[in-house]
Amino acid sequence: MKLGTKVKMLRETIGFSQAELAAKVGVTQGFISHVESGIREPTLDTLRKIASALGTTVSFLLDDNPPQAVNQ
C-alpha cells in the first residue's frame, strides 16, 4: 500500500477531513490532497508530523510491503 493511500485510510478512520489533518500538521489542505493522490512527497519532518497526527509511525507509512507471516 502506498504512502498516500495509507494517509487517506488513517485520516478517514480517525474522522479527520483533509483540512483538519493539514491544520494539525501545519500544511495546506491542498498539500494533503497531493500527498494522498501521490502527486507530492512530504519531507521527512512533515512526514513525522503526519504520522504523529494520525497516531502511527513513519515506518508504517513508508512500508509499502504487505505484512508477512513469521514462521515459528
The total of structural domains in the chain comes to 1
- Helices 18-25/44-54 angle, 10° precision: 120
Distances (CA, A) of 7 to 13, 49, 72: 10, 12, 32
Instruction: Please report the pLDDT score of residue 67 as a whole number.
Output: 54
Query: Would 67 be classed as within a structural domain?
Result: no
Query: Would 68 be classed as within a structural domain?
Result: no
Residue range of the domain that includes 22: 3-62
pLDDT greater than 80 at residue 71: no
pLDDT digits (tens, 9 = 90+) for 1-21: 899 999 999 999 999 999 999
pLDDT digits (tens, 9 = 90+) for 19-68: 999 999 999 999 999 999 999 999 999 999 999 999 999 999 999 765 55
First to last CA, the chain: 26
Instruction: Please report the pLDDT score of residue 32 as a whole number.
Output: 98
Q: Domain with 17 in it: what CATH number?
A: 1.10.260.40
The rounded distance, in Å, linking the Cα atoms of 39 and 72 is 41
Instruction: Please report the pLDDT score of residue 1 as a whole number.
Output: 85
